[in-house]
Amino acid sequence: MSNWTTICKETDLTPDTGLCALLDGEQVAVFYSKKTGELYAVSNFDPIGEANVLSRGIIGSIGEAVVVASPLYKQHFDLKTGACLEEPEHTLKVYPVRLEAGEVQLQPA
Amino acid sequence: MSKQRIVVVGNGMVGHKFIDNLLQDPKADQFDIVTFSEEPRLAYDRVQLSSYFSGATADDLMLTSEGYYRDNGVNFVLNEKVTELDTANNQVVTSSGRVESYDKLVLATGSFPFVPPIPGNDQEHCLVYRTIEDLEAISASAAQSKIGVVVGGGLLGLEAANALKAAGLETHVVEFAPRLMAVQLDEGGGKLLRRKIEELGVNVHTEKATKEIVAGENCRYRMNFADGSHLETDMILFSAGIRPQDELARQFGLEIGERGGIVVNDSCQTNVDNVYAIGECALWSGRIYGLVAPGYTMAKVAVSHITGGDEQFRGADMSTKLKLLGVDVASIGDAHGNTPGAQSYTYNDEIEQVYKRLIVSADGKKVVGAVLVGDVDAYGNLLQLMLNDMDLPGNPAGLILPAGDGEAAMGLGVDALPDTAQICSCYDVTKGMIKEAVASGCTDMGAIKGATKASTGCGGCAALTKQVLDAELSNLGYEVKNDICEHFAYSRKELADIVRVKKIKTFDELLDSHGKGLGCDVCKPAAASILASFWNEYVLEDNLVGLQDTNDVFLGNMQKDGTYSIVPRVAGGEITPDKLIVLGEVAKEYNLYTKITGGQRIDLFGAQLHELPVIWKKLVDAGFETGHAYGKSVRTVKSCVGSTWCRYGVDDSVGFAIEIEDRYKGLRSPHKLKFAVSGCTRECAEAQSKDVGVIATENGWNLYVCGNGGMRPRHADLLATDLDAETLIKYVDRFLMFYIRTADRLQRTSVWLENLEGGLAYLKDVVINDKLGLAAELEAEMEANIANYQCEWKTTVESPEKLKRFRHFINSDATDSNLAYVVEREQRRPAFKEERIAAVELAD
């Protein structure tokens, strides 16, 4: 069953930055890393700062993990697992994301 | 479990502190609190009593309010004295006959003024100085008097003299001892204090014992002294010391010291276990502590004991620093040199009227005391040296000698800070706690943050925490790496050199040639700042966007709910009424919370992403520019109104401030930069607390650098004097570029200078004497930077492509549904968690 939803075009992506998409009422932060060539999608809500801001964080790497840093209090979240590196009791939802015929698509988590 | 009932007798400063501390305790909900005060109001600031005579009202002095007590469930009864105490049945009885039971009783009854037993001391205009009611009586009496006398030349007596002087009376101080403040000052200090106070118009009479107070001939009273002399006066204030208010405890069987005071142990308990005494009524180890700070410590100890903690009162240091009648006075430790074998250094400048005496131990290694009059800057250093039992530096006299030309006053680096020094004020983390964390294996900032929470609150102490970490690592023999992060084995300074010398224009280029991994939120913004400092490109170019903190990307300051604040540039703080109206109209239209900033501009809070461009379009159209409040960059140039309006102005500070602000606006730097220009030495713009401060003199401009306000204030250093505008700009160009090239990430100019080898003298050599032969290059870099300036908001609102970013969702025009606001003082603010549900429901 295919339940992929197109959220934007590939050309809407700015390398190494994030954007926020609305998927069935949920806010999803989507990132594109030029170096890894991959797309990542996690929930946009920062569980520590308690605001919808993660798509506006800076992405990078900590060790092997590709991460986003919260723009509020700078905790790092692993973009593949959703885990918070500094405060492991917090985890983000991770959404399946893909590039299909020049379109960025998401599936519910 | 039913709640414990705590009765607090007395609601002075210490009684209130006890209640406030108990309310803040996590176990606060296990207690019911009742407090009685014989005064008609709740606790107020007795330390500031004399400000009542310079315009403060009783309300200004209040430390708390009835509303606060009510909101926190504290029962209070005013105008009601506790008159009986029954420790067998755990009950007190008040003047109105009210009976109150307690589980724990806290006596915070304070002290009363000692009135010497002089015949005639009970007449109508013979008063004391302790309560607001006393002040009202003094005020009424002063209105019918021309001359006033204070009996007592101690700390409180001089405060009282200040009050009489402020009330417009010819003021006299009569002291029994041979000098003023005999407890805190030595002979030299007392002598200078007397001279200064007399120059202020207060008459000082020492070695006078008052024999009697009789009717006067020209005034209301005449004081006859034991030596046969006399003094005529209309009113008399007794301020000859305090006595503990221990009457209740004494009458009902608590243990009292020989000379008064309720005896307490290290937990502040009296001889009855569930009765505590704190503050000036308590006698600990044979001593009464007549200052507020030890009283506060006792309050904390008592709360700790009642809530099951183990804090102990271990005595208190009575060192003190204060302004008496406008004269700076400080006394540390053994000010009289009574310690066996003590030796001293004395600095006595009769011209500038400064007296400093440093008393050291017999072996000359430790500070045991000090007296400072006229200049108390050394207080902090000397006190830390004594309290922490630190060894004196090689040349102890340097601690009290004025700094010579070209050298910084002797200071203490981070290594010299005592373990008790507080580094992180949000989480109360001391240097000692950070050192412990390092010793137990934390070797980077992440680990330190995890272990101590230091710099995880406001983050303002990050640089200082890092310095302590580095110093400790190097003390433990680790090789200290100043690597900016795991992706670059270079410090910020080294990266800046690489970028400049190799003409690197992008982060990817830098990462590929000198780094590894993907980069992170530390190295990316640092690289962006370096790239912007040298090439000053528009920060929203695609290859720069991903490097920037959200504040730089969206050109606003992100607030806690994810919205942004907007700060247009108001150069020099000068704004036309029309522009002010534009700001007001825009704020009104978008319902933005409005506040004046410390940098003389206006901050508009609560704009959502999609609103930013429309708001800025209006502002840009009205002639505003971005204020760069979001960037690590030049913020404001604060100014006083200067010679164009001010009677005292020497030069046009506003005009010069605007010129400077326009020159350096948009300049990216390792940390924010604040400037100020004052039009005369009255220094209304507070230029000496800024990174760059300029003060007008009769002969030109004086240039100060590396000052700081904020959490770690630093007085700026004088770099050059009597400059013309052109030379000053040249020096500032060089200074700023040198700082930008060499400072660490997030290192303010103040800390940078403290860490600069050679200090101020070296900086002068580089900036003024061009010792490194860099001056022309630094100036050229600044010129290039200025030539590349653009208002980022103007560029943004003119580019449809850039504007796409300013929306919450890429695939919907909806906005963030998580935002919720409540109205407070006629403006909106983000709802607190507990307010959110109600607010959201209302919005629906």
pLDDT digits (tens, 9 = 90+) for B390-401: 888 777 888 888
| B102 & B167 share domain | no
Residue to mutate among A5, A7, A16, A34, with most B CBs inside 10 A, is: A16
d(CA B382, CA B365): 13
CB within 8 Å: B518 and A33: yes
* Inside any domain, residue A37: yes
pLDDT above 50: residue B411: no
At B461, the pLDDT band (50, 70, 90 cuts) reads: low
ipTM of the complex: 0.92
* Test the A interface: residue of B809, B815, B821, B840 with most A CBs within 10 Å: B809
Q: Burial letters for B364-403: b for 16+ Cβ neighbours within 10 Å, e otherwise?
A: eebbbbbbbbbbbebbebbbbbbeeebebeeebebbbbee
Q: Which residues of A are less than 8 Å from B520 in CB distance?
A: 58, 60-62, 67, 69
CA B196 to chain centre: 27
Does a structural domain hold residue A109? no
Residue A75 lies in a domain: yes
| Domain of residue A73, residue span | 15-98
B347: domain CATH number is 3.30.390.30
Q: Which residues from B are below 8 Å from A63, CB to CB?
A: 486
CB B820 within 8 A of CB B828: no
Residue B24 zone, left/alpha/beta (φ > 0; ψ -120 to 50; rest):
alpha
Residues B658 and B779 in one domain: yes
**Predicted local confidence at residue B406, as pLDDT:** 38
Do the Cβ atoms of A56 and B553 come within 8 Å?
Answer: yes
Domain boundary among B191, B215, B240: B240
DSSP one-letter string for B540-594:
TSHHHHTTS-HHHHTTSEE-TTS-EEE-B--GGG---HHHHHHHHHHHHHTT-EE
Residues of A with CB under 8 A from a CB of B: 7-8, 12, 14-17, 19-22, 27, 30, 33-36, 45, 49-53, 56-63, 66-67, 69, 71-74, 76, 86
Given a cut of 80, whether residue B844 has pLDDT beyond it is no
Same domain, B107 and B28: yes
pLDDT at residue B838 greater than cutoff 80: no
Backbone region of residue B236 per phi and psi (left: phi > 0; alpha: psi in -120 to 50; beta: other values): beta
Smallest CA–CA separation between A52 and chain B, in Å? Answer: 7
Chain B residues in contact with A74 by the CB 8 A cut-off are 459, 521
Rounded Cα distance between B22 and B8, Å, is 11
The closest of B275, B278, B269 to B245, measured between CA atoms, is: B278
Query: Is there a domain that residue B13 lies in?
Result: yes
Yes or no, beta carbons of A52 and B562 under 8 Å apart? yes
Enter the DSSP assignment of B46: G
A87 inside domain: yes
Question: Any idea which of B143-147, B250-254, B527-531 has the lowest mean pLDDT?
Answer: B527-531
Cβ contact B816–A27 (<8 Å): yes
Q: Is residue B299 located within the same domain as residue B217?
A: no
Q: Are the beta carbons of A60 and A69 closer than 8 angstroms? A: yes
Residue A68 lies in a domain: yes
- For the segment B432-453, the average pLDDT, to the nearest whole number, is 84
Question: Does the residue A107 lie in any domain?
Answer: no
**Sheet harboring A26-33: ordered strands across?**
A17-23, A26-33, A38-43
Q: Which of B449, B517, B545 sits opposite A14 (nearest CB)?
A: B545
Question: CA B725 to CA B702: how far, in whole Å?
Answer: 10
Of B508, B524, B810, the CB nearest to A20: B810
Q: Are residues B671 and B771 in the same domain?
A: yes
Domain count, chain B: 5
Residue A106 lies in a domain: no
Of B525, B548, B571, the last residue of a domain is B548
pLDDT over 90 at B636, yes or no: yes
Q: Looking at A12-21, B111-120, B389-398, B568-577, which range is the least confident one?
A: B389-398
Tokens 């709740």, residue located: B42
What average pLDDT score do residues B80-103 get? 94
Alpha-carbon span B468 to B477, nearest angstrom: 14
CATH code at A93? 2.102.10.10
Nearest to B364, CA basis, from B391, B333, B337, B385 = B391
Q: Which residue has the higher pLDDT, B510 or B542?
A: B510
d(CA B671, CA B742): 12
CB pairs under 8 A between A and B: 102
Q: Note whether residue B422 is domain-resident.
A: no
- Give the distance from residue A11's alpha carbon to the nearest chain B alpha carbon, in angstroms: 12
Same-domain pairing of B224 and B248? no
Mark whether B68 and B80 lie in a shared domain. yes
Q: Given this model, what pLDDT does residue B463 score?
A: 67
Q: Is the pLDDT of residue B694 over 90?
A: yes
Average pLDDT over residues A19-42: 93
Distance (Å) from the C-alpha of residue B594 to the closest C-alpha of chain A?
22
Last residue of a domain, one of B374, B402, B430: B402
Q: Are residues B269 and B200 in the same domain?
A: no
Interfacial residues of B (vs A; Cβ cutoff 8 Å): 446, 449-450, 456, 459, 486-487, 508, 517-521, 523-525, 542, 545-551, 553-554, 558, 560-562, 804-805, 808-812, 814, 816, 818, 833
Name which of B44, B41, B37, B39 is nearest B107 in CA terms. Answer: B37
Report d(CA B416, CA B393) in Å as an integer. 10
Task: Give dist(CA A56, CA A38) in Å, integer.
Answer: 18
Residue A24 to chain B, least CA–CA distance (Å): 11
Question: How far, in Å, CA of B799 to CA of B794, rounded?
Answer: 9
Task: State residue B404's pLDDT score.
Answer: 52
Q: Which residues are B104's β-sheet partners? A: B6
- Of the candidates B518, B542, B816, which has its C-beta nearest A60's C-beta? B518
pLDDT of res. B412: 52
Q: B337-354: per-residue pLDDT in tens?
A: 898 999 999 998 888 899
B772 & B682 share domain: yes
Residue B257, in any domain of the structure: yes
- Of A66, A73, A108, A107, the residue nearest A90 (C-alpha): A73
| Contact across the interface for A52 and B518, Cβ inside 8 Å | no
How close B804 gets to chain A, by Cα (Å)? 9
Whether B26 has a pLDDT exceeding 60, the answer reads: yes
- Asked if residue B686 belongs to a domain, the reply is yes
Contact A20 B524 (CB under 8 A): no
Residue B93: name the closest of B81, B103, B104, B79 by CA. B81
Residue with the bigger pLDDT between B836 and B598: it is B598
Provide the token pair at B661: 């602000």
Q: How far is A49 from chain B (nearest CA, A)?
A: 7
- Residue A58 — very low, low, confident or very high, per pLDDT cuts 50/70/90? very high
- Strand, coil or helix: B788: coil
- Torsion angle, alpha carbons of B738, B501, B547, A39, to 10: -170
- Higher pLDDT: A93 or B502? It is A93
> Is the domain of B780 the same as that of B657?
yes
Q: Which residue has the higher pLDDT, B461 or A77?
A: A77
Quote the Cα angle for B596-B597-B598, to 5°. 130
Minimal Cα distance from B833: which residue of A? Answer: A50
Contacts of B560 in chain A (CB under 8 A): 49, 51, 72
Question: What percent of chain B clears pLDDT 90, i.e. is strictly above it?
Answer: 57
Could you tell me the two tokens for B297?
């410590």
CA B127/CA B171 separation, integer angstroms: 15
Within a domain: residue B612? no
How many domains are contained in chain A? 1
- Mean pLDDT, range B283-303, rounded to an integer: 90
Alpha-carbon distance B792 to B630, whole Å?
12
pLDDT at position B841 is: 47
Query: Does residue B427 or residue B35 have the better pLDDT?
Result: B35
Scanning every residue of chain B, which has its alpha carbon at the shortest distance from the alpha carbon of A28?
B809
CATH number at residue B101: 3.50.50.60
Least confident of B6-20, B268-282, B709-723: B709-723
Q: Is residue A24 part of a domain?
A: yes
pLDDT in tens, B742-782: 888 788 999 888 878 778 888 998 999 988 888 999 999 89
Question: Which of A56, A60, A71 minimises the CB distance to B519?
Answer: A60
Phi first, then psi: give them for residue B145, nearest 5 degrees. Answer: -130, 155
pLDDT at B583: 96
Q: Chain A: nearest CA to B618, how far in angstroms?
A: 25
Does B36 reside within a domain?
Answer: yes
Band of pLDDT at residue B839, cut at 50, 70 and 90 = very low
Residue B444 tokens read as: 């980077």
Task: Examine the domain organization and report whether B58 and B131 are in the same domain.
Answer: no
Q: Do B521 and A73 touch (CB under 8 A)?
A: no
Residue-number span of the structural domain to which B678 is assigned: 634-787
Separation between Cα atoms, residue B551 and residue B383, nearest integer Å: 41
Cβ contacts (< 8 Å) between B811 and chain A: which residues?
Answer: 7-8, 21-22
Q: Are strands B74-77 and A103-106 parallel, antiparallel or unpaired?
A: unpaired
Find the range with the poorest average confidence among B57-71, B402-416, B531-545, B553-567. Answer: B402-416
Q: Are residues B510 and B536 in the same domain?
A: yes
Q: Is residue B151 part of a domain?
A: yes
Q: Residue B458 above 60 pLDDT? A: no
Q: Write down the mean pLDDT value for chain B.
A: 88
Residue recorded with tokens 């005391």:
B369
Q: What's the rounded Cα separation, in Å, for the pair B737 and B459?
A: 26
- pLDDT > 70: percent of chain B: 95
Show Cβ contacts of residue B621 under 8 Å, excluding neighbours closer than 6 positions. Answer: none
Mean pLDDT, range B244-254, rounded to an integer: 94
Pick the residue from chain A with its C-alpha nearest to B816.
Answer: A52
